[in-house]
Structures are given as structure tokens and as C-alpha cells.
Amino acid sequence: MKAKISTHKNQTVSKIDPRIYGSFIEHLGRAVYEGIYEPGHPTANEQGFRQDVIDVITELNVPLVRYPGGNFVSGFKWEDSIGPREERPKRLELAWKSIETNEVGLHEFMEWSRESNTEVNMAVNLGTRGIDAARNLLEYCNHPGGTYWSDLRKENGDEAPFNIKTWCLGNEMDGPWQIGAKTADEYGRLAEETAKVMKLVDDSIEVVVCGSSSSKMPTFGEWEYTVLDHSYESVDFLSLHLYWENFENDLPNYLAKSVEMDRFIKDVAAICDSVKAKKGSDKQINLSFDEWNVWYHSKDADAKREPWDIAPPLLEDIYNFEDALLVGCGLITLLNNADRVKIACLAQLVNVIAPIMTVKDGEVWKQPTFYPFMQASNFGRGKVLSAMNEGPTYDSVEFKDVPYLESTVIHNEENNEVVIFAVNRSEDSSLTINTVLEGFENLSIIEATELADYDPKLTTQEKHDAMELKKNDRIEVDGITVSGQLKPLSWNMIRLA
């Protein structure tokens, strides 16, 4: 099969906001305890954070981590997580039916984020709490000093404000499972007032208002419109969440699921713009895809568990090669929509539906999904070019005209690099690509790599090095034309200068 990609240096979709490579750590399962935090582990630092985990996270170059939830945040009392550790209360954590010890709290997490070279995307509880708790938390985190909450932060060990810039106004407030779920009118009004008051405390922050928890929710569309109708002028981003499953074990259909992500983004952007038009506003609401990933492998096991333990192994999806290919398609889709998607958080980062797994007292290991994310996050910086793809397509059970080739072209002006990310969705045919990069001159290959030749069901659980990025020496460059072969079922990166 053959496919053609054509673009021009001056045809820009958008500059990429680095926050598109964000991730997520929730107080859920073994994400925090036994994940990033394990005092007594041979690599633990003075605060009890595992240095081996920090090192692997650093390889992913994650610029933003959403925290502390997720469903967890909707029942969370943030004041429980500050002050002397021995005085912090243990609480029943209702979202995941666990016990939260609060051993890792706000200051510890901020310290971890500094060590991990990442910013925090902080969520406030709009389930059981409201405006007052949110503005107090913000004052505690960002106000320099001289007030009750900011001085308490200093007393608790952090003289300098945390200066957290990105804030989520609750989590999945449309979901009946959410603690303190709300109607769109109830939530829209609360989000508007909370955003307004938080910006009185610190007008440099940006806030994310909750969109639907999936495009399959019965209130999808209406929810976004109503919430924004109430809050448009006070908020900056609208959130989207999407999790993929392959219970049917239908690979062509599974790999096509990034098509629904693309559609979801475009639909939500259209709703934002319709509210903008109705209001005659000059402001554009951008999108925060603050939860996206594959999540289904662990669901049966989790349904059988007994409640009320500390850091139970929950949502520990063991990913395989086909999941890595779909995550690759997801990354390409987010990049091709970089004009509207400014924040995205791979949900999540460690142990809980995560690219990184840990063994208690033992090693840290990388899931197959680690590799496409690592390459995109490190090399997919700069701006996305608008490219035309011409090539064969297929129909699957749910999707029509799915291109075998999913690709994006990125121009990193700072490093003078052009980077192509591509997935070949075909199970049995190679794709011979011909890419014409108009406006560039005398390009040459820096590196071409592939994740290929693996059984779709292969995992890295038993043999942690069972999968690796390999050199693709079938790629050739002639001036501005890049050609070569992409193997069946492959994730590819081609870097040119």
C-alpha cells in the first residue's frame, strides 16, 4: 500500500502548548503510595519519594501533572493534607472505597513536582465543597504572605508561594457516580462563581471547567452548552475525558477509535464557539483533554475487590502492543488539533492506568504505551503543520473510511527540526510513504525509529525489555522528499534537519 503526505513550512495548524503532554496522579490505588512514594525503598529520597520513578518520569518529560483527582477530589478535604503528618486524619475515601492516610499531602506533592520538573494542575473539590474551600486553597498555595492561609503555608514549611497556574473546577460533575454530582445549571452557576472568586484571589490563574465525562453521556452537548452559558467569561478551558476499551477484541475497530477522539474534539470546539457566538464574545475557550487513555484490562478484577484498604492495587491495566499503537494514534490526534487542545493529561502516570509501573521494594518498569508518549513528548515540540494525507482507507464495525496511515508533521523552529509521527494501522500490509515537505531545503535524517514486529497482545509485564524502539533504516530523504516503508502495525518517528 502507498500513502502520500504533503505539507508546506508555512501551513501552520498551531503552536503546540507543551501542556498537551501532561499526565495525572490521583490519590487512587497505588499511584501515590507504593507508586511515587515508598519510604524505605532503596531509591527513596529524604521525603520518601522513589528516585527511580522520578528518573523514569523525567524520561517522559511531562510538563504538567493533574492532582489530586479525579473522582477522589470530589470528597477531599484539602486541609486534611497539611500540617504535621502524625496529626493528619485517616479518612474513608468514598470514590474508590479506600482509606486515605494523608501521609502524602499538598506540600509533599509540591516538593515531588519540583523534583520531577513538572507543574501541577490542581483540582478543587466542587462535589462536597464549594467556593470557600477553593479560594482558601488558592490563597494557601499562591498568596505571598501576610494572611491567615498564606502564613499557614509558611508555617508548614514553604516560604515561597507555589504559584500554581492551572486549576480544575471539580471533576466529572455530570457523572452520577461523582460525589456531589450536579445538573448542568447547578454546576454551571457554581463553576462561574468559583472561577470569579478564585480570580479575585489571583488573576493570573487559568481555570478548566468540566465538560462531559465522555461523549457517550446522555447529557453530552447540552451539558457543555449550559455550563459555558453560565461561566463563559470566567473560565479558560473546557475539559474532555475519553477512555478506550477493546472488550470485543476487534483490532481494526480498536485502532480506529482515535477517530472518535478527533470527532469529540471538533464537536466540543463547535459547542464552545456557538456559546461564543450567542454571547458575541471575543474570547475563545480552548480545550483541556485532561483524561485520556486505554482503560479496560483491570475492570473485571476491580469489580471483585473488597473495600477499605490502604493503597489497593486498582486500575492496574497491563497494556499490550495494540494499546501502544492506539495511544500513538491518540497523541497524533491531539497534535493535529493543537489549535484547540492546549492541555491534555494522559490518565494516569504511575501504576493506575499508567505507562509506568512499580513493584513494592522492587523495580520500576515501562509499559508499551510509554514509548510513543516518550517520543511525542520529547520531540513533538514546536508547531504542527497542516498536512494532507492521501492513502488507502478501511471500514470497521463502528467507523467508515479509516485511513491506514495516521500521521502528523511538526516543525521545531528552535532546533531546526522536522518530526513526523506515524502509525500504520494495517495488520498485514506495509505502507510505502512519500512525504513532500515544501518550503524546507536539503533535509537529512537525524533518526528514524519504529515500534513494530510485535504480537498485538504482547506486554512488558513478565519481560520488561520485551519491547523497544528500533532503528528504521528503510527511510530515505532526497531534498524535501521523505520516503520509505512503515511496517504493518507500527508506531514510527522520523526526525529530520
CA–CA separation, 41 and 63 (whole Å): 26
- Residue 213 Cβ, how far from ligand AHR at the closest point, in Å? 6
- Residue 350 Cβ, how far from ligand AHR at the closest point, in Å? 12
Alpha helix (H) residue ranges in 337-451 = 370-379
* Number of residues in contact with ligand AHR under rule CB under 6 A: 10
CA–CA separation, 237 and 156 (whole Å): 32
Q: Between residues 293 and 389, which has the closer beta carbon with respect to ligand AHR?
A: 293
Q: What are phi and psi of 244, to 5 degrees?
A: -100, 150
Residue with grid cell 508555512, as numbered in its chain: 10
Q: Between residues 24 and 149, which has the closer beta carbon with respect to ligand AHR?
A: 24
Other C-beta atoms closer than 10 Å to the C-beta of 160 total 9
Q: Decide: is 347 part of the binding site for ligand AHR (CB under 6 A).
A: yes
Q: Which residues contact 439 (CB under 8 A, 6 or more apart)?
A: 8, 9, 10, 480
CA–CA separation, 25 and 133 (whole Å): 21
**Segment interacting with ligand AHR, rule: CB under 6 A, options 6-14, 63-71, 368-376, 464-472:** 63-71
Instruction: Report yes or no: 141 and 158 within 8 Å, Cβ to Cβ.
Output: no
Q: Between residues 96 and 149, which has the closer beta carbon with respect to ligand AHR?
A: 96
- Residue 124 Cβ, how far from ligand AHR at the closest point, in Å? 14
**Segment interacting with ligand AHR, rule: CB under 6 A, options 66-74, 104-112, 132-140, 403-411:** 66-74
Closest residue to bound ligand AHR by CB? 70
If you ran DSSP here, which 8-state letter would residue 145 be given?
S
- Residue 347 Cβ, how far from ligand AHR at the closest point, in Å? 4
- Residue 178 Cβ, how far from ligand AHR at the closest point, in Å? 8
CA distances (Å), origin 182, targets 215, 224, 236: 17, 13, 21
Q: Between residues 26 and 406, which has the closer beta carbon with respect to ligand AHR?
A: 26
- Residue 123 Cβ, how far from ligand AHR at the closest point, in Å? 9
Instruction: Report yes or no: 411 and 418 within 8 Å, Cβ to Cβ.
Output: yes
Q: Which of residues 272-291 bind ligand AHR (CB under 6 A)?
A: 291
Q: Between residues 275 and 345, which has the closer beta carbon with respect to ligand AHR?
A: 345
**Segment interacting with ligand AHR, rule: CB under 6 A, options 8-16, 64-72, 153-161, 441-449:** 64-72
Q: Between residues 73 and 423, which has the closer beta carbon with respect to ligand AHR?
A: 73
Instruction: Report yes or no: 299 and 314 within 8 Å, Cβ to Cβ.
Output: no
Cell of 9: 513550512
Instruction: Report yes or no: 246 and 322 within 8 Å, Cβ to Cβ.
Output: yes
Cell of 25: 496522579
Q: Which of residues 35, 68, 69, 391 is near ligand AHR by CB under 6 A? A: 69
Q: Decide: is 206 part of the binding site for ligand AHR (CB under 6 A).
A: no
Q: Decide: is 239 part of the binding site for ligand AHR (CB under 6 A).
A: no
Helix, strand, coil share of the chain (percent; to 5): 30, 25, 45
CA distances (Å), origin 281, targets 210, 232, 277, 413: 20, 9, 7, 33
Binding mask 465-484 for ligand AHR (x = CB under 6 A): --------------------
Q: Decide: is 348 part of the binding site for ligand AHR (CB under 6 A).
A: yes
Q: Between residues 66 and 487, which has the closer beta carbon with respect to ligand AHR?
A: 66
Q: Decide: is 344 part of the binding site for ligand AHR (CB under 6 A).
A: no
Cell of 313: 492495587
Instruction: Supply the residues annotated as catalytic.
Output: 172, 291
Q: Which of residues 172, 202, 206, 317 is near ligand AHR by CB under 6 A? A: 172
- Residue 288 Cβ, how far from ligand AHR at the closest point, in Å? 13
CA–CA separation, 469 and 451 (whole Å): 5
SS3 assignment, position 277: helix
**Segment interacting with ligand AHR, rule: CB under 6 A, options 67-75, 355-363, 392-400, 489-497:** 67-75
- Residue 241 Cβ, how far from ligand AHR at the closest point, in Å? 6
Q: What are phi and psi of 139, to 5 degrees?
A: -60, -40
Residues of this chain that interact with ligand AHR (CB under 6 A) are: 26, 69-71, 171-172, 213, 291, 347-348
